[in-house]
């Protein structure tokens, strides 16, 4: 596996691959790899001739300086894991390479950026995400890009951007990879110490409780959200939000019907966690 740090090198590599007729699969990440990232890389390898992952802790999408400072970074371990997962190139630019003096452009995906995570973190979070993903697509020139359902709102924002701007990239959304007890894998989980690791299960318990009442026939979204919230409270965690929304538009639902996203966020000790499930309800 090669590690490339400049846009010029990455452009040259992608141009060469495209001239050879190879399909490029791309997995954008912020590093601190776990099995969730690895599953995306492996799926990219199954579908595409070559795989690129990017490792870039994007400063513009952090709304708390402390979260950016505490974000785990271990490029040596990441590069070994990516190589083992069959990645051909890891693109790991500096912040200066991505945001040189005078950088002034922002992508805003209206309507999707100020709800759920955007309501808590501010619209600049998804503007940061959309802008950096747009730039990474231009640098890597992938045929297919792989994103985790773990970040459901990110998926909705990027899908909208790709469609609106006619970007020639196919989006592949990959299932959430969980620990054996149900906790969604996250780079931030390493910061869960002592009892916080047990309390973090509240998110999964809340989602499971919400799914249970839907499976039992409940269609009133507020009742479903209350069941999930109550399950989290009984686990000692108060959700920042427990939302029942349409999967694509992220609009709140009064009735549970169609492609339903149940999304939750909560602070557990020093860490802010998110999780979700998708239900297809007829
Ligand atoms: P991140 O490094 O956190 O920006 O994540 C990079 C990609 O991995 C994103 O598309 C995430 O949605 C995805 N990802 C993170 N955690 C998981 C997980 N537990 N299961 C599946 N995909 C994940």
Task: State which residues of the chain have pLDDT below 70.
Answer: none
Q: Which residues pair with 265 in a beta bridge?
A: 241, 274
Distance 121 CA to ligand 1 centre (A): 18
Burial, 236: exposed, middle or buried (Cβ in 10 Å; 0-12, 13-18, 19+)?
exposed
- Ligand 1 neighbours (beta carbon < 6 A): 29-30, 36-37, 39-40, 147-148, 150-151, 174, 176-177, 184-187
- Whether pTM > 0.85 for this model: the answer is yes
Counting atoms of ligand 1 from 1, which one is nearest the CA of 37?
8
Cβ-contact 252, 183 below 8 angstroms: no
b/e per residue 55-81 (b: at least 16 CB within 10 A): bbbbebbbeeeeeeeebbeeeeebbeb
Query: Which pLDDT tens digit goes with each residue over 107-158?
Result: 999 999 999 999 999 999 999 999 999 999 999 999 999 999 999 999 999 9
Q: Give, using CA atoms, the residue closest to atom 22 of ligand 1.
A: 148
Query: Does residue 125 have an active-site annotation?
Result: no
Please pick, among 37, 125, 143, 235, the residue that the annotation labels catalytic: 37
């Amino acid at each position: 596996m090669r590690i490339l740090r400049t846009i010029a090198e990455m452009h040259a590599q992608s141009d060469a691959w495209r001239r050879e007729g190879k399909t490029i699969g791309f997995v954008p990440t912020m590093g601190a790899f776990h099995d969730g990232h690895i599953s995306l890389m492996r799926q990219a390898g199954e579908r595409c001739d070559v795989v690129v992952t990017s490792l870039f802790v994007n400063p513009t999408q952090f709304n708390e300086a402390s979260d950016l400072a505490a974000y785990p970074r271990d490029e040596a371990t990441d590069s070994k894991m990516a190589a083992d997962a069959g990645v051909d190139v890891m693109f790991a630019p500096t912040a200066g390479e991505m945001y040189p003096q005078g950088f002034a452009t922002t992508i805003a995906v209206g309507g999707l950026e100020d709800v759920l995570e955007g309501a808590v973190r501010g619209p600049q979070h998804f503007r940061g995400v959309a802008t950096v993903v747009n730039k990474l697509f231009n640098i890597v020139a992938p045929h297919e890009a792989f994103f985790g359902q773990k970040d459901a709102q990110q998926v909705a924002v990027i899908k909208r951007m790709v469609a609106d701007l006619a970007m020639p990239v196919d989006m592949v959304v990959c299932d959430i990879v969980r620990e054996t007890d149900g906790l969604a894998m996250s780079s931030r989980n390493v910061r869960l110490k002592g009892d916080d690791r047990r309390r973090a299960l509240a998110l999964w318990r809340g989602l499971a409780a919400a799914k249970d009442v839907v499976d039992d026939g409940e269609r009133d979204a507020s009742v479903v959200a209350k069941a999930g919230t109550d399950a989290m409270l009984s686990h000692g965690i108060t959700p920042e939000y427990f939302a029942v929304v349409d999967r694509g538009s992220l609009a709140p639902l009064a009735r549970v019907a169609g492609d339903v996203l149940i999304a939750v966020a909560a602070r557990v000790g020093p860490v802010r966690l998110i999780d979700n499930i998708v239900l297809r309800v007829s």
